[in-house]
Amino acid sequence: MTEPVLEVSGLQTHFFTRAGVAKAVDGVDFTLKRGEIMGLVGESGSGKSITGFSLIGLVDPPGRIVGGSIRFKGEELVGKSEETWRQLRGARIAMIFQDPMMTLNPVLRIDTQMIEAIRAHRKVSDREARARCVEALGKVGIPSPHERLTAYPHQFSGGMRQRVAIAIALLHDPDLIIADEPTTALDVTIQAQILHEMKKLARETGTALIWITHDLAVVAGLADQVSVMYGGRIVEQGTTATIVERPRHPYTRGLIDSVPSHNARGVPLRQIRGMAPSLLDMPEGCPFRPRCPNASARCREEPENREIAPGHRLRCFHAVEPEPAVR
Ligand SMILES: Nc1ncnc2c1ncn2[C@@H]1O[C@H](COP(=O)(O)OP(=O)(O)OP(=O)(O)O)[C@@H](O)[C@H]1O
Ligand SMILES: [Mg+2]
């Protein structure tokens, strides 16, 4: 019970390309307990998806995990065979993608796909499998799941298709779900409903959840803890309240100041200056240095990951003052 579901330490996933080595994930550490929700936040290209793919054994050449450890319920997964990964995938660890059609096959009925997903890991009767499908569709808020089971993916709206993909992820009561921007393409009311249902599910079933997004506002209402990624590293990590209300990394502060808020109407939004670095041409030392308002010569050295308060970790020499963000 007290054992963490997932302990990731020093994880490195690199891509060996003709143009050089892209260190997409370069030293990622975090721990997740049962039923806990972690938001993994950062700009495009910061390494969020590759972190997710690494955790489910889906990194393809020219990429590979070159360092660190992924302990899942006490078992080391780095270096495990494809067969081991296949058994874990879908059953114990599931992933939900931004595009539900990454999970769904357009030419097969929903029941066919769901039953196949169940039978990939378990021997069950047709009746039992169907009951399980109806239950899973009900859990994600699909009305009349019995009738909907025989529909094809195109007969569902985008939001409903994403719910079906989530239902497939839930079929085996996984210990861990990695959700990679699954609500980004949906309108805000549907997004809010799905977030609400996922939170409830994590609480009720004890499934740990990693929610990948570029949108801090999404994780603010969902996650227990937040990890902020930049240039392949987690630069700040803490409880959601800490990260949102008392961020210490200049990058986190920049992200928060660039989120529109109701109580700051009329105040121009602040932007983080400059562009995210190319992974093939990373600045030495702190990757955020060229864009950072606080950078000094010292930042040419890599700041280490240190715990500045219980549960609050930071990689920065020049932490911003911990007063609440302006917005
Ligand atoms: N097949 C590949 N070959 C070479 N480099 C790759 C490959 N896949 C990913 N990368 C590198 O890994 C980096 C991180 O990619 P990743 O998909 O994890 O970003 P992300 O944070 O999920 O961004 P987004 O918000 O746009 O989804 C990319 O910027 C790219 O340089
Ligand atoms: Mg991504």
CA atoms within 13 A on the CB side of 197: 19
Cβ of 140 closer than 6 Å to ligand 1, yes or no, is no
pLDDT of the residue at 71: 98
Instruction: Write the residue with the smallest CA distance to atom 26 of ligand 1.
Output: 44
| 59's tokens | 């990194």
pLDDT, tens only, 85-110: 999 998 999 999 999 999 999 999 99
Q: Provide the number of structural domains found in the chain.
A: 1
Order of strands, edge to edge, in the sheet holding 75-76? 20-32, 6-17, 63-72, 75-76
Residue 4 to residue 196: CA distance in whole angstroms: 24
User: Which residue shows structure tokens 């494809």?
Assistant: 82
Instruction: Write the residue with the smallest CA distance to atom 12 of ligand 1.
Output: 24
Phi and psi, residue 178, nearest 5°: -110, 115
Centroid of ligand 1 to alpha carbon of 112 (angstroms): 33
Cβ of 145 closer than 6 Å to ligand 1, yes or no, is no
The pLDDT of residue 327 is above 60: no
Phi and psi, residue 82, nearest 5°: -60, -35
pLDDT, tens only, 192-210: 888 998 999 999 999 999 9
- Cβ partners under 8 Å of residue 301, min gap 6: 285, 286
Residue 305 lies in a domain: yes
Cβ of 232 closer than 6 Å to ligand 1, yes or no, is no
Centroid of ligand 1 to alpha carbon of 24 (angstroms): 6
Atom index in ligand 1 nearest the CA of residue 51 equals: 18
User: Which residue shows structure tokens 């990590």?
Assistant: 237
Residue 95 lies in a domain: no
Phi and psi, residue 284, nearest 5°: -70, 155
Task: Please state the rounded mean pLDDT for residues 19-32.
Answer: 95
Residue 124 lies in a domain: no
Q: Hey, what amino acid is at 232?
A: G
pLDDT above 90 coverage of the chain, percent: 82
pLDDT, tens only, 41-89: 999 999 999 999 999 999 999 999 999 999 999 999 999 999 999 999 9
Cβ of 48 closer than 6 Å to ligand 1, yes or no, is yes
Cβ of 52 closer than 6 Å to ligand 1, yes or no, is no
| 304's tokens | 């280490």
pLDDT, tens only, 256-307: 988 776 566 666 667 788 888 888 888 899 999 999 999 999 999 999 999 9
The pLDDT of residue 138 is above 80: yes
Residue 237 lies in a domain: yes
| 299's tokens | 């930042």
Residue 271 lies in a domain: no
Centroid of ligand 1 to alpha carbon of 45 (angstroms): 5
Residue 238 lies in a domain: yes
CATH of the domain at 316: 3.40.50.300
Instruction: Write the residue with the smallest CA distance to atom 17 of ligand 1.
Output: 49
Instruction: Write the residue with the smallest CA distance to atom 5 of ligand 1.
Output: 15
Residue 134 lies in a domain: no
73, 93, 88, 92: which is closest to 2 by C-alpha? 73
pLDDT of the residue at 99: 92
Residue 70 to residue 8: CA distance in whole angstroms: 5
Helix ranges restricted to H, the chain: 48-55, 82-88, 110-119, 126-139, 145-148, 158-170, 188-205, 216-220, 240-245, 250-257
Residue 188 lies in a domain: no
Residue 85 to residue 57: CA distance in whole angstroms: 6
Radius of gyration of the chain (CA): 20
> Containing domain of residue 247, as a range?
1-82+212-263+277-327
